[in-house]
Amino acid sequence: MVFLIYQLILILIILISPLIILYRILKNKEDSVRFREKFCFFSKSRKSGKLIWFHASSVGELMSILPIINYYENKKNINQILITSTTLSSAKILKKIKLKKTIHQFFPLDLIFFSRIFLNYWKPSMAIFVESEIWPSMYKFINKRKIPLILLNARITKKTFNRWYFFKKYSLSIFKNISASYPQNIETINYLKKLKVKIIKYIGNLKFIGNPYENKKEFEKTLKSRLKKHLIWVAASTHDNEEILCAEAHMILKRKFKNLITIIIPRHINRVDKIFSDLKKKNLNIALHSSGAKDLKNVDIYLVDEYGLSENFYKISKTVFLGGSLINRGGQNPLEPARYGARILSGKNTKNFVDIYKFLKSLGISMVVNNPIDIAKSIVFKSNKNGGEKIKILGNEILKKTTIEIDKILNNAIKKT
């Protein structure tokens, strides 16, 4: 009954989808051509041979599996890799990476009809869903086709668990389709056990692993030459109002460091115009990254208005504030900048990365800030390379163990076909 209601709701969404899609296109949240992939009008072809399928909802999930993608790009027994996601930002990031076997499509609406079409067309040897991507229709038909289904770097919060467990019988029928799950924390292990997932094995959080495709030396060289006369710090993945608080921290620091530039990388670049307007009201000089400004002499704020560049800025900054933490959004992944030896600043709202922040605190490289004064006092211009090296070592161990586990299931599936 619950599944039927779920399907009826999706049908209603399809009926009003033209209006939803038009709105999202106008808001730059949807591709004006490729949105059709969500209705199983595919823009790429399925090659012959073995195909492994990864589904990562958005940017964070996508970035976490890139090391795994890199591994299978070099495996001869895999002919094609399919990555699906639901957001435009993740598609844009993937487009910038040169991959030989890997293609991207948008994930279809979770109707029975679309799930059948999708699986009939792509015929994956294995399906790997990342973090909290639970889709009842797709799970059901993956299981019917006897395709191994892995929930990788699984993450279930208390709120999410309570929502699933409210419909216990229905939820158990969905989670039983998972062949194996690799949770990223202890909390998730306990919830997966209650949801009767068959195989649960803790390896570690994929987000400890470095991005193998981030190697833009030309970009770094150009950027360093433009910023070499300045002290810099980064405020990344910021949300509404956090840019203002970081700008106020900049104004405090500017009294002491006249050559200071604050680099702001908003979580959603469609907010750039509003951010620009808000900061202009504070009489700050702002340079947009896309403008390619060569003279940064009088610049206060360097506003990054392109996706996929965060890691390049992390490499040259000694302090990084991560947004979504001074407001109640649960924070952002701090491991990327920490890997390069940066001090990590965040607000107290980091519930999405509790274990990671505990680990960084044990290394002495993360601090909690509550306001612009705290931020200004906590900014440093020297790196902690020792902490970064420990993260890299742990990440390499997690990558090795993860690929071993996936290979076991994949090789067994290939033998049966």
Extents of the domains making up the chain: 24-40+47-203+402-416, 217-389
For residue 327, pLDDT beyond 90: yes
Q: What is the mean predicted confidence (pLDDT) over 255-283? A: 95
Angle at 45 between CA 42 and CA 50, to 5 degrees: 120
Give the tens place of pLDDT for each residue, 94-142.
998 989 999 999 999 999 999 999 999 999 999 999 999 999 999 999 9
Q: What is the pLDDT of residue 291?
A: 87
CB 293 within 8 A of CB 299: yes
Encoded amino acid at 375, one letter: I
Instruction: Determine the topology of domain 217-389 in CATH.
Output: Rossmann fold (3.40.50)
Helix H or strand E encompassing 193: helix 186-194
Beta-ladder partners of 128: 54, 150
Residue given tokens 């203002």 in the structure block = 244
Instruction: Tell me the pTM.
Output: 0.82
Helices assigned H by DSSP within 259-384: 272-280, 310-314, 335-338, 354-362, 372-378
Which segments within 295-383 are labelled E, that is strand? 301-303, 319-322, 343-346, 366-368
CB 286 within 8 A of CB 272: no
Yes or no: is domain 24-40+47-203+402-416 CATH 3.40.50.11720? yes
Judged by average pLDDT, the poorest of 47-51, 190-194, 279-283, 353-357 is: 353-357
Encoded amino acid at 304, one letter: V
3-state secondary structure at position 142: helix
Q: What is the mean predicted confidence (pLDDT) over 380-408? A: 90
For residue 254, pLDDT beyond 60: yes
How many Å apart are CA 169 and CA 125, to the nearest integer? 29
CB 76 within 8 A of CB 49: no
Encoded amino acid at 226, one letter: R
How many Å apart are CA 387 and CA 363, to the nearest integer? 6
How many Å apart are CA 309 and CA 134, to the nearest integer? 29
| Burial group, residue 385, by CB count within 10 angstroms (0-12, 13-18, 19+) | exposed
CB 53 within 8 A of CB 118: no
Q: What is the pLDDT of residue 378?
A: 96
Q: What are phi and psi of 275, to 5 degrees?
A: -60, -45
Q: What is the mean predicted confidence (pLDDT) over 249-273? A: 96
Judged by average pLDDT, the poorest of 70-74, 185-189, 214-218, 241-245 is: 214-218
Beta-ladder partners of 345: 321, 367
Q: In what order do the strands lie in the sheet with 301-303?
A: 286-288, 301-303, 260-266, 231-238, 319-322, 343-346, 366-368
Q: What is the mean predicted confidence (pLDDT) over 320-328? A: 96
pLDDT band at 417 (very low <50, low <70, confident <90, very high): low
- Give how far the C-alpha of residue 411 lies from the chain's centroid of Cα atoms, to the nearest Å: 28
Mean pLDDT for the chain overall: 93
3-state secondary structure at position 350: coil
Q: What is the mean predicted confidence (pLDDT) over 377-385? A: 87
How many Å apart are CA 330 and CA 179, to the nearest integer? 29
For residue 266, pLDDT beyond 90: yes
CA dihedral 11, 16, 20, 21 (to 10 degrees): 80
Encoded amino acid at 283, one letter: N
Give the tens place of pLDDT for each residue, 196-236.
999 999 999 999 998 888 655 566 677 778 888 899 999 99
Q: What is the pLDDT of residue 292?
A: 82
How many Å apart are CA 61 and CA 325, to the nearest integer? 19
How many Å apart are CA 242 and CA 274, to the nearest integer? 13
What does the buried/exposed string (b/e) look like for 283-322 if buried means 16 or more CB atoms within 10 Å of the residue's CB?
Answer: ebebbebeeeeeebeebbbbbbbebbbbbbbbbbbbbbbb
Q: What is the mean predicted confidence (pLDDT) over 45-74? A: 95
The two tokens of residue 53 are: 């399928």
How many CB atoms neighbour CB 145 within 10 A? 13
| Burial group, residue 116, by CB count within 10 angstroms (0-12, 13-18, 19+) | middle
Beta-ladder partners of 224: none
